[in-house]
Amino acid sequence: MANKKIIYGLYDDEVVLIDAVKKVRAEGLKIHDCYTPFPVHGLDDAMGLRMTRLHSAGFIFGATGTTTALSFILWITTSNYPINYGGKPYLSLPAWIPITFELTVLFASVGMFLTYLYLNRLAPGVKPEIVDERTTSHLFAMTFEIDDHTSSEKKDEIRKVLTASGAVEVHEKEL
Amino acid sequence: MFVSPLREPLIQGHKTYKQISDDICAPVEAAPSKAWMIAVTLSGLLALTGFTMIGITITYGIGMWGLNKTVGWAWDITNFVWWIGIGHAGTLISAILLLFRQKWRTGVNRSAEAMTIFAVICAGLFPIIHMGRVWLAFFIFPYPNTRGPVWVNFNSPLLWDVFAISTYFTVSLVFWYTGLIPDLALVRDRTTSAFKKRMYNIFSFGWKGTAKNWQRFESISLVLAGLSTPLVLSVHTIVSFDFATSVIPGWHTTIFPPYFVAGAIFSGFAMVLTLMLVVRKVFNLQEYITLAHIESMNKVIILTGSIVGVAYITELFTAWYSGNQYEQYAFLNRSTGPYWWSYWGMMTCNVVSPQLFWIKKLRRSIIFTFFMSIFINVGMWFERFVIIVTSTHRDFIPSSWTMYYPTIVEIFIYLGTIGFFMTLFLIFAKVAPVIAVAEVKSILKTSGDQYTGPDAIHTQDEHHKH
């Protein structure tokens, strides 16, 4: 696998980073990604990222939970092995609400969590490509993908834009 | 970014992002202190004693307990409800306060959620060992079997409880771990030891913190909070159904669900305070868990404590107003019968004492808050004991009236779960950041004392310039 090469700038404040992202995009450069130590509100808008559809997945999983619970209990109590509890109707929907609710929440949460892990490529033991170890602590990184064919003029341009927009450090790295 | 000039700062000491990482990771990175070793040994030994007593119960049967024909539920279910209730504060802080955008939750949510998980583990032990033949515990789940198949009873609150508790545990775990992943990645990136780096790499799942990662993180946090909010209300509602759907005087009251939920949050906050007051001192985190945090929690205690108080008095009124002599006797027996001390203990701890927090000086006093938090937990334990034992020990036929006393086995199982809970919490506090680092950083610009409050050095105008 060809090694990925990046140029990245490190910022020490999220407000500077958001301004920098806007500035860099206005210059027509393509940002590869941003790494931040905490969720920075407005960064996804500045980068032009699409809103995640993760919550829609949550809804689908939840609806699956509701259907599973209701159809399973319905099948058991009215068809598979109906039991007469003190003359009460076999189909006693109100009594099934608690379990239906719990399964809805269970399916939605667990399903959404697994989707979240899958989309973010998170799993025990995954070795992440760490741009800079300080980006989980106090620095904010903006990265640009480059390869062996990237001209040195292009590299210089990226470096210049990064420094001009307030980056405290600029580095080149092979991942 | 809007900075409220009225709000008290939640992060003190003019912290930078770097300092926040350093301060909160310090206890994780330092070698275990002597005090920690002693604490974990003692609580571990207590837990071990508890598990030995559980072993004795399983070997010789439920006869090792003080239960009898009249009092079939006692300490076991008392402890179960007590632990479940304690867990509720964690979910309230992490979910409900997230929906209400309460910034002070970030200082305490991580530990409170950990507390929830450990409390639910302790709670879950009790119904399982109460089954006696624990190796048949899987009977509580609906699975195809060769006995008909006879399924579980879907109309029974006891089965609802199975689903409620197991869902609650799973969802709390998922919520907690979602928040923990970025913070474990922080520890991974800071540590220099190769072994630690490997371990934290496994547990942080390879987190990178890209813009897209965080966008999804925010989405899942919000949805999980939205799901956990009705969940936490449903869990204690269903626990209260265990009693409320029965026909025992003192149990079959429609007030139980809200009354139980309020009581649960009340006791949970007390436990959070007990733990956090120790944690902030021992780990030197006073600048992150400030008096403002403690005061906010004490205000929740006033609210939930008052709801509990009103519920107790409503119960008494309704018993009298119903004109039903069995219902009336149940309450007369609670307050003046042989277990009068537990009733008045409950009344003092839960109704009278939280009202003292109306005094600002007291709710901002650390020593007072600490003692109150213990007091409330004792009171809430009494509440469950009162409901469970005093309602059953004098039943419909006076010839079967009896008393219940716990045996040494029961006492040590209860103490053992406290030891187990403390052991789990101590281990957690040593291996993971006890404060949600990323979330604290995200409120620095609005709640740090360099931006708001009397010591602010940055002005509002400076913010608007950006």
Mutation choice for B interface testing from A91, A116, A133 by most B CBs within 10 A: A116
Give chain B positions within 8 Å (CB) of A124: 202-203, 205
- In tens, the pLDDT along B400-447 reads 999 999 999 999 999 999 999 999 999 999 999 999 989 888 888 888
CA distances from B102 to B10, B180, B230 (A): 11, 20, 18
Question: Are B220 and A72 inside 8 Å of each other by CB?
Answer: no
CA-based nearest residue in chain B for residue A20: B466
What pTM did the predictor assign? 0.92
Give me the residue from A36, A55, A136 closest to B186, CB to CB: A136
- Token pair, residue B4, equals 């409220």
- Token pair, residue B465, equals 């310039």
Q: Which of B238, B259, B236, B243 is nearest to B306 (CA)?
A: B259
CA distances from B56 to B44, B124, B137, B183 (A): 18, 18, 17, 41
What is the Cα Rg of chain B in Å? Answer: 24
**d(Cα B448, Cα B441) in Å, to the nearest integer?**
9
Helix (H, G, I), strand (E, B) or coil at A5: strand
| Min Cα separation A58/chain B (Å) | 8
Q: Is the dihedral of CA B216, B222, B225, B226 positive or negative?
A: negative
Q: Looking at residue B294, what is its pLDDT?
A: 92
Question: Are B182 and A125 inside 8 Å of each other by CB?
Answer: no
Kindly tell me if the per-residue pLDDT of B4 is higher than 70: no
Residues 187-226 of B with CB under 8 A from A: 188-190, 201-203, 205-220, 222-224
In a domain, B36, yes or no: yes
- In tens, the pLDDT along B54-79 reads 999 999 999 999 999 999 999 999 99
Kindly tell me if the per-residue pLDDT of B284 is higher than 90: no
Q: How many domains does chain B have?
A: 1
- In tens, the pLDDT along B401-411 reads 999 999 999 99
Q: What is the ipTM for the molecules in this complex?
A: 0.92
Higher pLDDT, A3 or B347: B347
Give chain B positions within 8 Å (CB) of A137: 17-18, 21, 186, 189-190
The domain limits of chain A are: 5-50+131-174, 54-119
| Min Cα separation B378/chain A (Å) | 30
| Min Cα separation A112/chain B (Å) | 7
Q: Looking at residue B465, what is its pLDDT?
A: 47
Kindly tell me if the per-residue pLDDT of B464 is higher than 70: no
CA-based nearest residue in chain B for residue A120: B213
Give me the residue from A54, A80, A101 closest to B234, CB to CB: A101
Q: Looking at residue B462, what is its pLDDT?
A: 56
Mark B193-227 as b/e (b = at least 16 C-beta within 10 Å).
Answer: eeebeebbbebbbbbbbbbbbbbbbbbbbbbbbbb
**d(Cα B79, Cα B125) in Å, to the nearest integer?**
10
- In tens, the pLDDT along A78-135 reads 998 888 888 888 998 999 999 999 999 999 999 999 999 999 989 998 888 888 888 8
Give chain A positions within 8 Å (CB) of B220: 54, 58, 112-113, 116
Give chain A positions within 8 Å (CB) of B182: 37-38, 136
Kindly tell me if the per-residue pLDDT of A44 is higher than 80: yes
- Token pair, residue A121, equals 């490529």
CA distances from B288 to A54, B24, B27, B410, B446 (A): 32, 9, 14, 39, 14
In a domain, B148, yes or no: no
Q: Looking at residue A163, what is its pLDDT?
A: 87
In a domain, B37, yes or no: yes
Question: Are A136 and B223 inside 8 Å of each other by CB?
Answer: no
In a domain, B334, yes or no: no
In a domain, B81, yes or no: yes
Residues 233-252 of B with CB under 8 A from A: 234, 238, 241
Residues 6+ apart with CB under 8 A from A143: A6, A7, A8, A31, A32, A33, A34, A35, A131
In which band, very low, low, confident or very high, does the pLDDT at B5 lie, cut at 50, 70 and 90?
Answer: low
Give chain A positions within 8 Å (CB) of B185: 128, 136
Give me the residue from A73, A113, A119 closest to B154, CB to CB: A73
What is the CATH architecture of A5-50+131-174?
2-Layer Sandwich (3.30)
- Token pair, residue A133, equals 């170890």
In a domain, B381, yes or no: no
CA-based nearest residue in chain A for residue B200: A125
Kindly tell me if the per-residue pLDDT of A28 is higher than 90: no
CA-based nearest residue in chain B for residue A95: B155
Give me the residue from A103, A122, A134 closest to B206, CB to CB: A122
Question: Are B209 and A136 inside 8 Å of each other by CB?
Answer: yes
Give chain A positions within 8 Å (CB) of B222: 55
Total length of chain A = 175
Kindly tell me if the per-residue pLDDT of B310 is higher than 80: yes
Give me the residue from A34, A102, A128 closest to B207, CB to CB: A128
In a domain, B333, yes or no: no
Higher pLDDT, A149 or B152: B152
Range(s) of the domain holding residue B81 = 17-142+155-246+265-288+403-452
